[in-house]
Amino acid sequence: MIETSPAKFDLLATDSSTSARRGRLHTRRGVIETPAFMPVGTQGTVKGMLPEQLREVGAQIILANTYHLYLRPGHDLVRQMGGLHRFMQWDGPILTDSGGFQVFSLGDLRRIEEEGVRFQSHLDGSAHTLTPESSIAIQEALGADIMMVFDECIPYPADRDYVAVSTARSTRWAVRSKAARRDASAAMFGIVQGGMEEDLRRQSAEQLVEIGFDGYALGGLSVGEMAEMMYQVMEWTLPLLPPTQPRYVMGVGTPENLVEAVARGADMFDCVMPTRNARNGLLFTSFGKLSIKQNRYRTDEGPVDPECDCTVCRRFSRAYLRHLYQSNEILSSVLNTWHNLYYYIQLMRRMREAIETGTFGQFRAEFHHRRDMTGEA
C-alpha cells in the first residue's frame, strides 16, 4: 500500500443486523457516496445518455472498458485528446476495468500465457497482446481515476485444478500490475478470484491484501452460477478484506443482487443490466420488472412507476413508451435507459439512508416482500 492512498475511504455507519456499510470514497475527481452503482460506459459513453443526463439521474462515477477503448479509437488518441474525461465530457470519477473479462470471453480467439494474453480483435481479426503492464499503461493513458489489475475472469463451471492455476496466475499478474503503476494519484484495486472454491477465494484475498491495494474487488461472479452460490462467495470473501477500504463486486447485477450484496458488506457495483434491458423494453420498478412492449400498456396513461419521480415517470405514459418501443424510435432507448439508471441509483441512495438510520434490515425485508407479492408486470 502506498503511504497516502489516492482512494481514501471513510466508513460512516454499519448495520447492526447485517454486514451493510455506509461509506464515502474520496478520489482525485470527486467523492462517491457508498453503496454506489456505476453505470457502464463501455466505449466512452453510457448508451443513450449525455453526461449532464447522467448527473441528473444521480450518477457519481462511471465505468469504461480498457479492451474496447484500446482497440477503438486507441488509448494514444484518447490521451492526445486530453484523456477520457475531456474526450467524453464527463468530469466525475471514472473506473476502468483491466480488459481481462473481454479478452477471456473471446474463446478461440485468445491464448493465455504467463506473459499475458494473445488475442485477435473482434473488429478486424488483427493480433494483439495484453499484459499486466500494457493494461495499466492503457488505463493510465485513458486517465482512469480507479484502475483494475489485470486478471482472468474464471468461467463457471470450471475444473478445480484450472481454477487453482488461474487464480495463482492472476495473483502474479496483480503483483506485476502494481509494479507497472506510474500515476500515483490514480487508485488501483486488486481483484479476488478463486472461482466457487472457498479455500481458493480465501487464498486469493489474503495474498492480495498482503500485496496491498487501494481497494478490493470480487471478480468471477455473475458468470452463470445460481444467486445463492454468488452470495455464498461474498460471505466467504468480503469479511477477509480490510474494513477501512472499499469493496467492489464486479458485474452484479439485478436489484435483488444489489440489496443482498450490500447486506453482505459490498460497497460498489457495476452492471450493464439497467442499460441493456432498457434497450430491450424491460424496465425496473419499485414493484418488480415491467415489460413495456406488452399490449396491455397500449392505452395505459399511467407512469412506468407511480412511486418514481424521475423525469420519464413525471412526463410520459406507459402508452407513449410502448409506442416508441414498438416504432423502434431512438427516444425509446433514451427514456427507458434514463428511468432504469435512475431506479438503480435511487435504490442505492435508499440503502444508504436505511443504513444511516439503522433500518436496513426492515428495508431489505420490505424490498423482497414487495417483489414476492407482485413479480413481473
Checking if the pLDDT of 2 tops 50, the result is no
Residue of 149, 136, 6, 139 whose CA lies nearest to 79: 139
- What single-letter DSSP state applies at residue 190? E
Report residue 302 as a C-alpha cell.
Answer: 399511467
Strands 21-27 and 30-34: antiparallel
Q: Which whole number is the average pLDDT over 299-309?
A: 98
Q: Which whole number is the average pLDDT over 342-346?
A: 98
Give per-residue pLDDT as tens, 69-93.
999 999 999 999 999 999 999 999 9
| Amino acid at position 212, single letter | G
Q: Which residues contact 220 (CB under 8 A, 6 or more apart)?
A: 153, 154, 156, 193, 194, 195
The helix/strand/coil state of 198 is helix
Euclidean distance between CA atoms 152 and 162, whole angstroms: 11
Strands (E), the chain: 8-14, 21-27, 30-34, 36-38, 62-65, 94-97, 110-112, 117-120, 127-130, 146-148, 187-192, 215-218, 247-249, 268-270, 282-285, 288-291
pLDDT band at 99 (very low <50, low <70, confident <90, very high): confident
pLDDT attached to residue 1: 42
pLDDT attached to residue 323: 98
Asked if 18 and 239 touch (Cβ cutoff 8 Å), the reply is: no
pTM: 0.96
Checking if the pLDDT of 233 tops 50, the result is yes
- 5 vs 372 pLDDT, higher one: 5
For residue 375, say if its preceding peptide bond is cis, omega within 30 degrees of 0: no
Euclidean distance between CA atoms 324 and 201, whole angstroms: 46
Q: Which of 97, 145, 151, 305 is catalytic?
A: 97
Strands 36-38 and 30-34: unpaired
Q: Which of 145, 151, 270, 305 is catalytic?
A: 270
Checking if the pLDDT of 377 tops 80, the result is no
Residue of 267, 269, 270 whose CA lies nearest to 241: 267
pLDDT attached to residue 226: 97
CATH class of the domain comprising 8-271: alpha beta
pLDDT band at 372 (very low <50, low <70, confident <90, very high): confident
> Which residues pair with residue 160 across a beta bridge?
none
Euclidean distance between CA atoms 153 and 168, whole angstroms: 13
- Known catalytic membership, residue 270: yes
pLDDT attached to residue 86: 98
Q: Which whole number is the average pLDDT over 292-301?
A: 98
- Known catalytic membership, residue 97: yes
Euclidean distance between CA atoms 100 and 260, whole angstroms: 26
Residue of 293, 289, 334, 292 whose CA lies nearest to 310: 334
pLDDT attached to residue 102: 82
Poorest-pLDDT segment among 44-58, 117-131, 137-151, 278-292 = 117-131
Q: Where are the domains of the chain?
A: 8-271, 280-364
pLDDT band at 375 (very low <50, low <70, confident <90, very high): low
DSSP string covering 213-254, please?
-SEEEE-S-SSS--HHHHHHHHHHHGGGS-TTS-EEETT---
pLDDT attached to residue 39: 98
The percentage of the chain sitting over the pLDDT mark of 70, rounded to a whole number, equals 98
